[in-house]
């Protein structure tokens, strides 16, 4: 029985690979449909192999639940998942993201007025951006309590420096020639900021925003490991792991993955709309 | 020189702000203590003080200001308290002591480095496969890119518990978490790097009659080095975060993450801050070390930086 199962797994893997090889090396390999189909087939093959292996080898659920079990659990606990999603993502991550990125852009505009400050702040910002800022979570949880405010605070601290560094770099993007032109038009500081330098900085700002999406989710989820109300994705993950309800953990991970891709996709769409003039978007 | 001066000014500014922030953050605790010691405090009940604004309390109880920087369990420890704690737990303690931060940093560091080596090795192998096989490129690469947008760290507690239940514990589970966090940045960066030689260079190699192996070793690999180091720096910082987070869910007894967790359970804020700074110093050292290797290696290879 196990042998048959393993044979089947190898067969399915080979079949998926063969289809993909045909598609990738075929004449149509540059079309959009094929570019979407190949990774989809790969993912599907992986899922089927996972399902068959778990069932065929009788892997206990506390080690690895089958995809079908995860899907069943996902469909069966939509209410809980939605409550966790709105607690962690909508309140904690999004709240912190908006505050942190907004504060970073404003700070960057202020810093940009002084050459001295910019020179001093950029290395410090770059250094802080590489630090394990997640570690501030226990402190912030202590200050702001267990609810979503403390998670938003962690997210603010996490996204602030990457965003600041990117925006400051972006504000220097407008060339001297362009600035001189604004000067000849007798543009005031604000006019040159809003009409030339902020738009020119947008590609950098969006780069920072994209990096920050993942950081925001990581911050909000990890901060819940240090204390949270009885709702939230990080809370659910750590308690379900404790109860060995791994199907629930995987369902939360699916939610996190969907939320992360959606969040990133949203920012990418906004970037496409706002920086349509940039060479990288015209492509 | 000018840059050093600006950086120092900014750092000094941050320290000053930190000292100032200690006043409103710690004033309530200080006043509670003063009242218990029998001193006269202006709103004389703890309840009234809880609802009062911190700055107002400071204005009414100016006598207490110089105490906010030496509280035992402050909400925000002053910089010198953190530095003292760091000094006492690194230099003054024996390295083998359970209270030595060097011991805890060593535990976290070994998991980080093992995971980093695993993740980087596998990442480079996969990227070589992706560059050489069109099928792998089209099927794996989109998933590697998508994986950058999802918080994979959410998997950490599960990996620890699952590995524990099949009998693997200690260093390896943390290292695995550190490995998969550094894995994807390396894959994405390395694929970009291996593809960085332009058509002209590839054509030149072909004119020389270079074999596939020669093309890889003499052109693709050397030209990918700047990209590799850029992603290694991201990867090692991510590995460290992974190792620290990996220590949280099991209530580990050793490691910087364990220090953070223990500090947050027992309200030992100074301990949390010193663990945090130890982690920051460790991250800074690791990134600086990679930067040094990068500069020497790329310098000897003749890459202009």
pLDDT digits (tens, 9 = 90+) for A260-274: 889 999 998 999 888
Unique residue bearing structure tokens 């970009």: B192
Closest chain B residue to A211, measured at CA: B149
pLDDT of res. A244: 82
Helix (H) or strand (E) holding B116: helix B101-132
| B contacts of A42 (beta carbons < 8 Å) | 139-140, 143
- Tell me the pLDDT tens digit for each residue of A41-87: 888 988 988 888 888 887 887 788 888 989 999 998 899 999 999 98
A132/B3 touch (CB, cutoff 8 Å), yes or no: no
CB-CB under 8 Å, A29 with B143: no
- Containing B190, the helix (H) or strand (E) segment is helix B171-194
The token pair at B252 is 């580990």
Closest chain A residue by Cα to residue B267: A142
Q: What pLDDT digit, counting tens, does each position of A144-168 carry?
A: 888 888 999 999 998 998 899 889 8
Q: Which residues of chain B have pLDDT under 70?
A: 249-252, 304-305
Gyration radius from chain A CA atoms:
24
Closest CA to B150 of A233, A206, A51: A233
Question: What tokens does A149 get?
Answer: 């405010």
Tell me the shortest Cα–Cα distance from B85 to chain A, in angstroms: 17
The distance of B303 to chain A (nearest Cα, Å) reads 23
Query: What whole-number distance in Å separates Cα of residue A124 and Cα of residue B241?
Result: 19
Residue B218 · residue B205 · CB < 8 Å: yes
pLDDT in tens, B256-293: 888 888 888 887 888 888 888 888 889 889 988 998 99
Q: What is the pLDDT of residue B72?
A: 76
Top residue of A131, A140, A150, A246 to mutate, by most chain B CBs within 10 Å, is A131
Question: What fold is seen in the domain B101-301?
Answer: MetI-like fold (1.10.3720)
Instruction: CATH 1.10.3720.10 in chain B: give the residue spans.
Output: 101-301
Given an 8 Å threshold on Cβ–Cβ distance, is B150 in contact with A214? yes
Rounded Cα distance, B10 and B225, in Å: 33
pTM of the shown model? 0.84
| B contact residues 73-132, partner A, Cβ 8 Å cutoff | 75
Q: What is the pLDDT of residue B181?
A: 85
Give me the pLDDT at residue B289, please: 92
Angle of helix A137-144 relative to helix A148-171, nearest 10 degrees? 120
* Closest CA in chain B for residue A248: B158
Question: Per residue in A6-39, pLDDT tens?
Answer: 888 888 888 888 888 888 887 777 788 888 888 8
User: Rounded to the nearest 10 degrees, what angle do helices B256-266 and B101-132 cross at?
Assistant: 130
Kindly identify which residue of chain B lies nearest to residue A44, measuring between CA atoms. Answer: B139
Inter-chain residue contact A263 with B149, CB threshold 8 Å:
yes
Q: Nearest-CA neighbor of A256 among A97, A74, A112?
A: A74
Give the best residue of B10, B76, B263, B272 to mutate against chain A (max A CB count within 10 A).
B10
Q: What is the pLDDT of residues A223-271, one digit of tens each?
A: 888 878 888 888 888 888 888 888 888 899 889 889 988 999 999 899 9
Based on the number of CB atoms within 10 Å of its own CB, is A116 exposed (0-12), middle (13-18) or buried (19 or more)?
A: middle
Average pLDDT value for chain A:
87
| A101: pLDDT strictly greater than 70 | yes
User: Of A121-130, A135-144, B130-139, which range is least confident?
Assistant: A121-130
List the single residue in A43, A141, A264 with the smallest CB-CB distance to B149: A264
The alpha carbon of residue A213 and the mean position of all alpha carbons in its chain are separated, in whole angstroms, by 4
Q: Which of A118, A92, A274, A113 is nearest to A201 (CA)?
A: A274
Half-sphere exposure of A19 (CA within 13 A, CB side): 16
According to the model, what pLDDT value does residue A283 have? 59
Query: What would the mean pLDDT of A93-99 be, rounded to a whole number?
Result: 94
Structure tokens at A13: 């893997």
Q: CA-CA distances (angstroms) from residue A19 to A39, A184, B143?
A: 11, 62, 18
Would you call A135 and B6 a contact, using CB atoms and an 8 Å cutoff? no
C-alpha distances out from residue A196 to A190, A199, A205, A279, B74, Å: 10, 6, 14, 17, 47
Residue tagged 């706002």 (tokens): A274
Measured between beta carbons, the chain A residues lying within 8 angstroms of B157 are 225, 237-238, 241, 249
């Amino acid at each position: 029985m196990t042998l048959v199962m393993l044979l089947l797994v190898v067969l399915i893997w080979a079949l998926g690979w063969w289809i993909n090889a045909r598609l990738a090396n075929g004449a149509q390999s540059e079309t959009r449909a094929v570019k979407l189909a190949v990774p989809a087939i790969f993912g599907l093959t992986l899922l089927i192999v996972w399902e068959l292996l778990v069932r065929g080898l009788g892997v206990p659920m506390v080690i690895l639940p089958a995809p079908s079990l995860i899907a069943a659990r996902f469909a069966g606990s939509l209410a809980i998942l939605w409550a966790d999603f709105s607690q962690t993502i909508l309140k904690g991550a999004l709240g912190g993201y908006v505050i942190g990125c907004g504060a970073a852009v404003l700070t960057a505009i202020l810093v940009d007025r002084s050459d001295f400050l910019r020179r001093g702040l950029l290395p410090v910002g770059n250094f802080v951006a590489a630090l394990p800022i997640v570690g501030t979570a226990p402190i912030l949880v202590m200050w702001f309590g267990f609810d979503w405010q403390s998670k938003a605070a962690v997210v603010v601290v996490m996204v602030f420096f990457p965003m600041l560094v990117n925006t400051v770099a972006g504000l220097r993007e407008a060339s001297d020639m362009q600035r001189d032109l604004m000067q000849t038009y007798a543009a005031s500081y604000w006019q040159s900021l809003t009409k030339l330098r902020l738009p020119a900085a947008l590609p950098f700002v969006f780069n920072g925003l994209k990096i920050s999406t993942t950081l925001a989710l990581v911050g909000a989820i990890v901060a819940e490991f240090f204390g949270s109300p009885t709702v939230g994705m990080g809370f659910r993950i750590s308690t379900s792991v404790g109860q060995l309800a791994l199907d629930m953990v995987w369902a939360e991970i699916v939610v996190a993955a969907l939320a992360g891709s959606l969040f990133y996709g949203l920012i990418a769409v906004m970037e496409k709309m706002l920086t349509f003039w940039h060479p990288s978007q015209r492509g | 020189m000018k840059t050093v001066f600006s950086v120092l000014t900014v750092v000094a500014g941050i320290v000053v702000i930190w000292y100032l922030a200690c006043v409103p953050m710690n004033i309530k605790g200080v006043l509670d203590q003063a009242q218990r010691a029998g001193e006269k405090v202006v709103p004389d009940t703890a309840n009234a003080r809880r609802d009062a604004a911190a700055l107002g309390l400071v204005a009414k109880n100016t006598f207490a200001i110089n105490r906010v920087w030496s509280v035992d369990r402050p909400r925000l420890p002053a910089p010198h308290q953190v530095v003292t704690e760091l000094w006492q737990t690194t230099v003054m303690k024996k390295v083998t002591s359970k209270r030595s931060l060097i011991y805890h940093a060593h535990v976290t560091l070994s998991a980080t480095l093992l995971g980093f080596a695993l993740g980087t090795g596998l990442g480079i192998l996969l990227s070589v496969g992706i560059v050489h096989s069109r099928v792998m490129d089209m099927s794996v690469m989109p998933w590697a890119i998508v994986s950058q947008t999802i918080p994979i760290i959410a998997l950490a507690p599960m990996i620890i518990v699952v590995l524990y239940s099949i009998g693997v514990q200690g260093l390896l589970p943390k290292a695995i978490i550190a490995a998969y966090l550094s894995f994807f940045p390396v894959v994405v960066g390395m694929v970009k790097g291996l593809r960085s030689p332009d058509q002209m260079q590839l054509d030149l190699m072909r004119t020389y009659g270079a074999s596939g192996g020669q093309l890889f070793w003499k052109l693709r690999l050397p030209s990918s080095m700047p990209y590799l180091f850029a992603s290694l720096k991201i990867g090692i910082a991510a590995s460290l975060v992974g190792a620290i987070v990996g220590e949280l869910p099991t209530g580990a007894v050793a490691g910087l993450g364990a220090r953070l967790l223990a500090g947050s359970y027992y309200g030992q804020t100074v301990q949390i801050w010193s663990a945090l700074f130890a982690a920051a110093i460790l991250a800074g050292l690791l990134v600086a070390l990679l930067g040094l290797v990068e500069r020497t290696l790329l310098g000897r290879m003749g890459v202009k930086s």
